[in-house]
Homo-oligomer: A and B are copies of this chain.
Amino acid sequence: MAGASYLKDLWYVAGWSSDLAPGERVGRTFLDQQVVLWRSADGVVSALEDRCIHRAMPLSAGVVDGAVIRCPYHGLEFGGNGRCTRIPAQDRVPDTARIRAYPLVERQGLLWIWMGDAHRADPALVPDYPIHEDPVYAWRSAHFPVNGNWQLLVDNLMDLSHLPYIHANTIGGNPELHFSTRTRSEKLPNGVRVVRHMPDSVPPPTYVDAAGFTGRIDRWQEIEFEPLLIRIHTGACDAGTGAFEGRRDHGFSMRGFHGITPETETTTHYFWSMATNILDNGVPDEVFEQTARTFREDQEVLELQQLRISADPGHAMIDIASDVGGRHTRQLIARLQNEEMSGALESR
Contact = CB atoms under 8 A, between A and B. Distances in A.
A61 B162 CA distance: 14
Given A74-B322, A165-B73, A165-B74, A54 B88 contact: no
A113 to B, nearest CB: 18
Nearest to A51: B308
A52 to B, nearest CB: 9
Contacts of A161: 74-75, 88-89
Contact of A320 (B54, B56, B304): B54
B54 A318 contact: yes
A57 B89 contact: no
A34 interface: yes
A239 interface: no
17 contacts: A34-B308, A54-B318, A54-B320, A55-B152, A55-B155, A57-B301, A57-B304, A58-B304, A61-B304, A73-B301, A73-B305, A75-B161, A87-B320, A89-B321, A89-B322, A90-B320, A90-B321
B72 A318 contact: no
Given A53-B317, A56-B317, A88-B322, 15 more contacts: A51-B312, A55-B152, A55-B305, A55-B317, A56-B315, A58-B304, A61-B304, A72-B166, A74-B159, A74-B161, A74-B320, A75-B162, A89-B178, A90-B322, A97-B318
Interface string A176-192: 00110000000000000
A164 interface: yes
A87 B90 CA distance: 66
A342 B56 CA distance: 31
A53 B76 CA distance: 53
Contacts of A54: 317-320
Q: How many copies does the complex hold?
A: 3
Contact of A75 (B58, B70, B165): B165
Contacts of A166: 72-73
Interface range for A: 35 or more
Interface in A54-80: 54-58, 61, 70-76
Interface string A133-165: 000000000000000000010010001011011
A268 to B, nearest CB: 16
Contacts of A318: 53-54, 96-97
Contacts of A317: 53-56
Contact of A301 (B70, B72, B76): B72
A73 B162 contact: yes
Contact of A88 (B55, B70, B175): B175
Contacts of A73: 162, 165-166, 301, 305
A307 interface: yes
A9 to B, nearest CB: 22
A124 interface: no
Contacts of A312: 51
A309 interface: yes
